[in-house]
Amino acid sequence: MRVLVCGVGYRFLRDNAVGVYITDTLALQASNGIEFEDLGYHPVGFTQNLEERPPYDRIVFVGAVDRGRPPATVKAYQYDHVLPDVTEVQERVGDSVTGSISLDNLIIVSEAFKALPDDVWIVEIEPADETWGEGFSPEIEAKLPEIMETVWSLTRP
């Protein structure tokens, strides 16, 4: 089984960097069939990269998303491949090409350009602090082992 795990977010924005921290760390355990990628870049380039590679059986996205939940909430779920309307998709493309990096944009744009396999999992982490700087909030710091295990478990068949 070929699995790609993508860490999404900006480095140096505290909890927003949790996704890329997770993939940086787990990349040390990369093995045959399991790849890790820092997705601190825009979704249009990502979709093009995917098209050039042999297909993955599963892609796992991990990143911080502020949805107003209690800080450090971890939610893992299988993507339903449902797209918003065309207007919103184009707005997400516009957002992406002006340099912004976000988990929602990445998934929507990748899906719109038909770059994703059927089996896609998303691990969202509710950030407590997305201001500038390095290091995580205490809430996220305490959850790192759980997040790591959640993501790692999704690399298994």
Partner 1 sequence: MCFKNLPIEFDAAGNATLKPGAANPYSYIETPAPTPIEDDPERMRELFARNGAVRRVDFDPVTRVAGALAFHTVVDLENRQVLETASMATLFRGYEIILKGRDPRDAIFISSRACGVCGGVHATCSALACEMAFGIHPPPMGVVARNLLLSVEYLYDHPIHLSLLAGPDFSEPAVRETNPEIWERATRTRTTGRAKHGYEFMSELMTDLTPLTGKLYLEGLHYTRLAREAYVLIGGKYPHPQTVVPGGVSTTIDASDLNEIMLRVVKYFDYGRKTAAIWDDISDFFYEVNPRYREIGTRPKSMIEPGQWDDPYADEGTFKNCDDWGRRRWAPPGVIIDGELVTTSLQMLNAGVEEFVEHAFYEEWTGNGQNQRFATDPAGNPLSPYHPWNKETIPKPTATSWKEKYSWSTAPRWDRQAMETGAYSRIYAAALTGGADFRDSPYLNSTGHSMQIELPQAALPNDPIEWSIPETWGAFERNRARAYCILYTAAIAYDNLLIAYDLLRKGGPDAKMSTPYKVPKDHQIGVGLWGAGRGYLTHHLEMDKGVIENYQILTPSTWMASPKDPFGNPGPYEEAVMATPLLENYEKPEDFKGIDVLRAIRSFDPCMPCTTHLHMDDRTITREIISCACGSDGPHEH
**If 0-12 CB within 10 Å is exposed, 13-18 middle and 19+ buried, where does residue 15 land?**
buried
- Per CB under 8 A, the segment of 28-36, 71-79, 96-104, 146-154 that binds partner 1 is 96-104
Residue in the structure block whose two tokens are 């960097």: 17
Least distance from C-beta 26 to partner 1, angstroms? 19
| Site membership for partner 1, residue 134 (CB under 8 A) | yes
Please tell me whether residue 104 binds partner 1 under the rule CB under 8 A: yes
Residue 80 neighbours by CB under 8 Å, 6+ apart: none
Residue 123, beta-bridge partner list: 62, 76
Does 85 help bind partner 1 (rule: CB under 8 A)?
no
Q: Which is nearer to partner 1, 11 or 119 (CB)?
A: 11
How far apart are CB 16 and partner 1 at their closest, in Å? 7
CA 53 to chain centre: 18
Sheet holding 3-8, edge to edge: 34-39, 3-8, 58-64, 119-125, 74-78
Name which of 42 and 143 has its Cβ closer to partner 1.
Answer: 42
User: Which positions lie near partner 1, rule CB under 8 A?
Assistant: 10-13, 16, 40-42, 44-45, 48, 66, 86, 88-102, 104-105, 112-113, 130-134
